């Protein structure tokens, strides 16, 4: 399921794309029944650029950036299984994340929204997209200790969420694809590299990969991102405008980089 696409309301709109990995990880389960165990992973390079910036799980990768994808040939189909930047894999199987007292308020806020919407959808079982959006917005608004209101934006699959104490809404794009053929879902993975990551870096923008997904930061706000990263690394707790809670936590406590895959 491709679930949340967050858009910050600003003139240089930063797009936070949270890819919930089951959409792509479904490739593992569908291929397991048909794919010969000895089939080889092939690699193709989509683009190489000296522009832009890439932050990978708390580390800034040095340019140039080579964007590539791994695929297998299965039953006559080309199945795209992995993306890479400088040979670091971008699609991971993430273990379930348990909130702890040390987690930031932001993580807890999104967890509360997710729990409220999941419970509401299971209870009310919507029969249409519009009804689903209405139920999710109502569930978000029910978390009234954190949320002032949540409003469905007509025909856009977007819910404008008004946090308490904030005047501007956070736009949350709710889209779902409950049953995607394996070839179609694998093409989405390929298109992400070709149609999003490559032009983003070529334009001088930044990509921030973290457990919570990937944040795309436009060129005009890269300096702001760099200041936030520096502040988080120094232990400052200022309100974050770009980094999501998962990324901020990885910059505070970066783990050693694994060796790149060859």
Better-predicted residue by pLDDT, 96 or 74: 74
Residue 81 has pLDDT above 90, yes or no: no
Residue 135 has pLDDT above 80, yes or no: yes
Work out the average pLDDT over 102-111: 67
57: left (phi over 0), alpha (psi -120 to 50) or beta: left
**206 bridge partner residues:** 53, 217
Residue 136: other Cβ atoms inside 10 A: 22
Encode pLDDT of 25-66 as tens digits: 333 333 333 334 436 888 889 899 999 999 999 999 999 999
Work out the average pLDDT over 87-95: 72
Better-predicted residue by pLDDT, 169 or 108: 169
Distance spanning both ends of the chain, measured CA to CA:
29
Residue 15 has pLDDT above 80, yes or no: no
Dist. CA 56–CA 255, nearest whole Å: 10
Q: Is 41 in contact with 72 (CB distance < 8 Å)?
A: yes
Cα radius of gyration (the chain): 19
Residue 109 has pLDDT above 90, yes or no: no
Considering the entire predicted model, what is its pTM? 0.57
Lowest model confidence (mean pLDDT) among 24-33, 144-153, 164-173 = 24-33
């Amino acid at each position: 399921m491709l679930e949340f696409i967050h858009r910050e309301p600003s003139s240089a709109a930063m797009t936070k794309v949270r890819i919930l990995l089951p959409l792509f990880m479904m490739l593992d389960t569908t291929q397991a029944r048909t794919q010969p165990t000895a089939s080889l992973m092939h690699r193709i390079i989509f683009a190489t650029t000296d522009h832009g910036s890439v932050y990978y799980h708390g580390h800034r990768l040095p340019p140039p950036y080579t964007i590539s994808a791994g695929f297998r040939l299965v039953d006559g189909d080309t199945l795209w299984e992995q993306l890479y930047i400088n040979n670091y894999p971008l699609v991971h199987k993430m273990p379930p994340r348990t909130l702890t007292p040390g987690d930031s308020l932001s993580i807890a806020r999104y967890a509360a929204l997710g729990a409220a919407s999941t419970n509401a959808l299971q209870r009310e079982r919507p029969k249409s997209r519009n009804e689903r959006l209405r139920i999710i917005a109502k569930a978000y608004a029910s978390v009234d200790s954190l949320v002032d209101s949540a409003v469905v934006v007509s025909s856009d699959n977007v819910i404008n969420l008004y946090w308490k104490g904030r005047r501007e809404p956070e736009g949350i794009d709710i889209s779902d694809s409950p049953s995607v053929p394996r070839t179609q879902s694998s093409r989405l993975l390929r298109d992400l590299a070709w149609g999003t990551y490559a032009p983003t870096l070529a334009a001088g923008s930044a990509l921030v990969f973290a457990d919570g997904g990937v944040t795309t930061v436009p060129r005009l706000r890269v300096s702001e991102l760099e200041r936030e990263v520096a502040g988080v690394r120094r232990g400052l707790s200022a309100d974050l405008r770009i980094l999501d809670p998962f990324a901020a936590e990885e910059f505070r406590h970066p783990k050693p980089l694994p060796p790149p895959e060859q």
